[in-house]
């Protein structure tokens, strides 16, 4: 087991960079399922039934949400997240259990992690992921159906969806933290004296961490937005370049055709000049001899 997996076992509080990386992995996994796998299901149904792709995709999304109430749904989703984590992060040999614990720590204040059982961590994580998937699918149906179905090959769609699911994950993280704060306030009412100072400090620390993380996410989303704008600008320039290139090629082709016609006309002109020369050439020998004119037209008198 490497040092990162060891840190998981120690349940160290992840830093902001790690939190952002793991939330990105979670979001990428969910987007991949919705954008690719569910879309492939819809295409299969469309080809089999001839129903419109948009309607097939809508039904496939609804079926996926209906599956979210089953243990199989979370088992497959967590297995996918575990696979994504091993393939795309430094945690390439993390076990399934350690992976679940680490992702659960994203939605639980660090001071509570030690007191939670493995089952409680799993319940918290599955509850959060269920909320995220259901909310995200709702946004997809409401706002993104057209771009997914009609412009499925456009890579900027994936970036938009990843930003959307990241915001949902951040909201669920805040909501999960808030539930622990509310539970802590309940304990404060039971034992006000013992919890007074700690209760005042812990929410403040959580709020500070959440605000800092929000700032980091917003900065990253702004960079993504600028990148999307640059990508669009580059695509527009490339399109304009192709149009100018096509126009120039058309002009070159037209010029070649015109030059070909000019060459043909010049050849015809040369042929005409050659024919005129032959027609106007001087006659070297006379057709008849002038000296014999009198003989030719004279009539010999024959005496009767």
> Does any domain span residue 295?
no
Per DSSP, 291 falls in state G
> Does any domain span residue 288?
no
Kindly give the confidence (pLDDT) of every residue in the chain, 304 residues in length, as a single tens digit, with 9 standing for 90 and above.
444 444 454 444 567 888 888 999 999 999 999 999 999 999 999 999 989 999 999 999 999 999 988 889 999 999 999 999 999 999 999 999 999 998 999 999 888 888 889 899 999 999 999 999 999 999 999 999 999 999 999 989 999 999 999 999 999 999 998 888 887 776 555 555 554 444 444 455 555 555 655 665 566 566 666 666 666 777 777 777 788 888 888 888 888 888 888 888 888 888 887 776 665 555 555 555 555 555 545 555 555 5
Q: Angle at CA 31, nearest 5°, toward 30 and 34? A: 85
Asked if 180 and 187 touch (Cβ cutoff 8 Å), the reply is: no
H-helix segments, the chain? 3-10, 16-32, 38-49, 53-67, 71-88, 96-104, 110-113, 118-139, 145-150, 156-190, 192-279, 293-297
Contacts of 101 (CB under 8 A, 6+ apart): 8, 9, 11, 118, 121
pTM of the complete model beyond 0.75 = no
Distance of CA 244 to the CA centre of its chain: 27
Which of 77, 89, 79 lies closest to 137, judged by CA? Answer: 77
Note down the domain range covering 175: 3-236
Per DSSP, 287 falls in state S
> Does any domain span residue 255?
no
- Number of structural domains in the chain: 1
Which of 161, 184, 27, 32 lies closest to 106, judged by CA? Answer: 27
Which of 79, 86, 95, 109 lies closest to 19, judged by CA? Answer: 109
* pLDDT at res. 246: 82
* pLDDT at res. 4: 46
> Does any domain span residue 261?
no
* pLDDT at res. 9: 47
CA distance 261 to 263: 5
> Does any domain span residue 296?
no
CA distance 255 to 260: 8
């Amino acid at each position: 087991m490497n040092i990162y997996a060891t840190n998981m076992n120690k349940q160290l509080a992840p830093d902001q960079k790690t939190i952002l990386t793991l939330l990105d992995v979670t979001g990428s996994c969910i987007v991949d399922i919705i954008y690719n796998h569910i879309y492939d299901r819809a295409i299969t149904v469309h080809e089999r039934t001839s129903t419109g792709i948009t309607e097939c995709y809508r039904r496939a999304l609804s079926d996926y949400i209906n599956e979210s109430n089953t243990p199989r749904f979370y088992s497959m989703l967590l297995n996918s997240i575990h696979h994504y984590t091993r393939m795309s992060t430094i945690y390439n040999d993390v076990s399934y259990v350690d992976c679940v614990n680490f992702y659960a720590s994203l939605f639980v204040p660090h001071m509570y992690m030690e007191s939670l059982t493995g089952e409680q961590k799993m319940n918290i994580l599955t509850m959060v992921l269920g909320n995220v998937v259901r909310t995200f699918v709702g946004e997809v149906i409401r706002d993104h159906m057209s771009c997914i179905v009609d412009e499925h090959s456009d890579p900027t769609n994936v970036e938009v969806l990843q930003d959307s699911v990241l915001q949902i994950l951040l909201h669920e993280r805040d909501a999960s933290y808030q539930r622990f704060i509310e539970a802590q306030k309940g304990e404060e009412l039971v034992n006000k004296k013992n919890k007074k100072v700690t209760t005042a400090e812990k929410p403040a620390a959580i709020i500070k961490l959440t605000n800092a993380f929000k700032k980091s996410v917003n900065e990253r989303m702004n960079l993504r937005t600028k990148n999307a704008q640059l990508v669009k600008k580059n695509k527009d320039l490339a399109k304009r370049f192709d149009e100018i290139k096509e126009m120039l090629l058309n002009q070159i082709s037209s010029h070649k055709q015109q030059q070909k016609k000019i060459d043909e006309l010049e050849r015809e002109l040369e042929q005409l000049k050659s024919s005129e020369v032959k027609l106007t050439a001087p006659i070297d020998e006379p057709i008849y001899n002038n000296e014999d004119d009198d003989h030719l037209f004279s009539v010999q008198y024959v005496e009767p």
